């Protein structure tokens, strides 16, 4: 069966200018050779930190940006040559509280986009009612959007993206900034899309979200796809190893670099937790780096030390820091 979404060696460079009198042109390579495929009915996650190139990739796939080089196809049609054909068959939802007519009601917003997506006039009212029910906004549809909470706006975005019942849905960080309860409801809605047979591309930087929802994950770092596979595949990359977490106070960059040179250590990351920092060290299986780590941390105030099994988040951190 041919893939529903194909990205083939996509590159995207932005040109920006700086300076007032002496103008200089700078080139920023946001996406550098990204390729992947998504099968029918699959929920594929693009996971990566801010600025990794996730949104740029998705904007090329939904026809908003023309790739600098490479190509992309949706349902077998080129996103540049057949842009209108592709637009009729995809839904696009982005995160945050932008993208809505603030002084209009949810109903008016949906009514307009139903028109723009060619929903038959006699089908518009029942379809809007159905989607308001789906996203839990029934009863609030006549209120102006400017009075909506972030979670309500996000749910309205999802309803807007599904108006024309597209077979392919692109979700760009749909749960960003939404409170935990609202985010859980949104994830349930996203899972429902997959159950309804839709092909979904989800970008997120929440590991547990990707782990819970996605059939396969592509990890993007610095514009490149650094890993691809099922959540299990990614976890397996580090399940052989071990993770040591050391609570420290005031560690410097040189010391962190020193930790990376210890034999068997594959990744080192420093996380801020409350008042302290936690050094998270990943090591290959069969090594026991704790003693060596503590020796290298001489002179640094050290708190709790713990050893645990690796998680998907560890796999992600390792991939992103290596990438």
Partner 1 sequence: MRMLRTIAVGWALHMKQESRNPFFLWVVICTPLIYATMAYFLFARGTDDATLVTAAVGSALMGIWSLTTTAGAASLGQQRRLGILELLVAAPTPFWMTIVPITIAISAIGTYSLVTGLIYVRLLFGVPVEVHDWLGFLAAVPPTIVSMGMFGFLFCAAFVRFRAAWAVGNLFEFPVWTITGLLIPVVLLPAWVEPLSWLAAPTWGMRALRAAALGGSSPWDDIAMCVVLSVVYAAIGMVLLRVFLRSARARGSLALS
Selected binder of partner 1 within 8, 64, 270, 276 (CB under 8 A): 64
Q: How far is the CB of 136 from partner 1 (least distance, A)?
A: 22
Selected binder of partner 1 within 8, 100, 134, 294 (CB under 8 A): 100
Q: How far is the CB of 57 from partner 1 (least distance, A)?
A: 13
CB 222 within 8 A of CB 29: no
Q: How far is the CB of 198 from partner 1 (least distance, A)?
A: 17
Q: In whole angstroms, how far apart are CA 303 and each of 89, 246, 265, 299?
A: 55, 7, 20, 13
- Rounding to the nearest 10 degrees, give the CA dihedral for residues 170, 174, 176, 180: -150
- Cα–Cα distance between 15 and 35 in angstroms, integer? 23
The number of C-alpha atoms within 13 Å of 211 and in the hemisphere containing its C-beta is 12
Using CB under 8 A as the binding rule, whether residue 96 contacts partner 1 is answered as yes
Q: How far is the CB of 48 from partner 1 (least distance, A)?
A: 17
Using CB under 8 A as the binding rule, whether residue 32 contacts partner 1 is answered as no
Residue of 123, 109, 103 lying closest to 158 (CA atoms): 109
CB 246 within 8 A of CB 279: yes
Letters for 202-241 (x = contact with partner 1 by CB under 8 A, - = none) are ----------------------------------------
Q: How far is the CB of 90 from partner 1 (least distance, A)?
A: 8
Using CB under 8 A as the binding rule, whether residue 176 contacts partner 1 is answered as no
- Binding-site size for partner 1 (CB under 8 A) equals 32
DSSP bridge pairs for 268: 281
Using CB under 8 A as the binding rule, whether residue 118 contacts partner 1 is answered as yes
Using CB under 8 A as the binding rule, whether residue 117 contacts partner 1 is answered as yes
Using CB under 8 A as the binding rule, whether residue 15 contacts partner 1 is answered as yes
Angle at 221 between CA 219 and CA 226, to 5 degrees: 50
Using CB under 8 A as the binding rule, whether residue 111 contacts partner 1 is answered as yes
Using CB under 8 A as the binding rule, whether residue 191 contacts partner 1 is answered as no
Q: How far is the CB of 26 from partner 1 (least distance, A)?
A: 14
Stretch that binds partner 1, among 31-39, 58-66, 226-234, 235-243 (CB under 8 A): 58-66
Selected binder of partner 1 within 4, 5, 47, 62 (CB under 8 A): 62
Q: In whole angstroms, how far apart are CA 254 and each of 4, 261, 282, 296, 311?
A: 47, 11, 18, 11, 27
H-helix segments, 224-296: 231-239, 253-260, 290-296
The number of C-alpha atoms within 13 Å of 132 and in the hemisphere containing its C-beta is 20
Instruction: Write the Ramachandran bin of 104: left for phi over 0, alpha for psi from -120 to 50, otherwise beta.
Output: beta
DSSP bridge pairs for 191: none
Neighbouring CB atoms inside 10 A of 191's CB total: 14
Nearer to partner 1, 63 or 204 (CB): 63
Residues 135-174 that bind partner 1 (CB under 8 A): 160
Nearer to partner 1, 116 or 196 (CB): 116
Using CB under 8 A as the binding rule, whether residue 101 contacts partner 1 is answered as yes
Nearer to partner 1, 39 or 99 (CB): 99
For partner 1, the binding residues (CB under 8 A) are 12, 14-15, 59, 62-66, 84, 87-88, 92, 94, 96, 98-104, 108, 111-113, 115-118, 121, 160
């Amino acid at each position: 069966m041919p893939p529903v979404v194909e990205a083939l060696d996509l590159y995207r460079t932005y040109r920006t200018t700086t300076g007032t009198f002496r103008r200089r042109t700078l080139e920023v390579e946001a996406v550098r050779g990204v390729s992947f495929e998504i099968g029918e009915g699959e929920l594929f996650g693009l996971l990566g930190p801010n600025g990794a190139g996730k949104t740029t990739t998705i904007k090329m796939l939904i026809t908003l940006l023309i790739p600098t080089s490479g190509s992309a196809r949706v349902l077998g049609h080129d996103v540049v040559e057949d842009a209108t054909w592709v637009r009729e068959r995809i839904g696009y939802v982005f995160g945050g509280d932008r993208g809505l007519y603030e002084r209009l009601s949810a109903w008016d917003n949906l009514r307009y986009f139903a028109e723009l997506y060619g929903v038959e006039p006699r089908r518009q009212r029942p379809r809007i009612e159905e989607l308001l029910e789906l996203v839990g906004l029934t009863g609030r549809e006549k209120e102006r959007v400017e009075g909506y909470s972030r979670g309500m706006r996000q749910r309205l975005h999802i309803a807007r993206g599904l108006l024309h019942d597209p077979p392919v849905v692109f979700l760009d960080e749909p749960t960003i900034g939404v409170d935990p309860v609202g985010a859980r409801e949104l994830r349930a809605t996203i899972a429902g899309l997959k159950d309804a047979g839709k092909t979904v591309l989800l970008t997120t930087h929440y590991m547990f979200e990707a782990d819970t929802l996605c059939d396969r994950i592509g990890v993007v770092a610095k514009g490149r796809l650094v890993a691809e596979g099922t959540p299990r595949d990614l976890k397996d990359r580090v399940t052989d190893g071990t993770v040591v977490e050391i609570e420290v106070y005031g560690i410097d960059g040189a010391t962190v670099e020193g930790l990376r040179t210890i034999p068997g250590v594959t990744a080192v990351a420093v996380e801020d937790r409350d008042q302290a920092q936690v050094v998270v060290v990943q090591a290959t299986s069969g090594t026991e780096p704790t003693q060596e780590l503590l020796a290298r941390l001489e002179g640094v105030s050290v708190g709790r030390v713990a050893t645990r099994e690796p998680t998907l988040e560890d796999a992600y951190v390792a991939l992103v820091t290596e990438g």
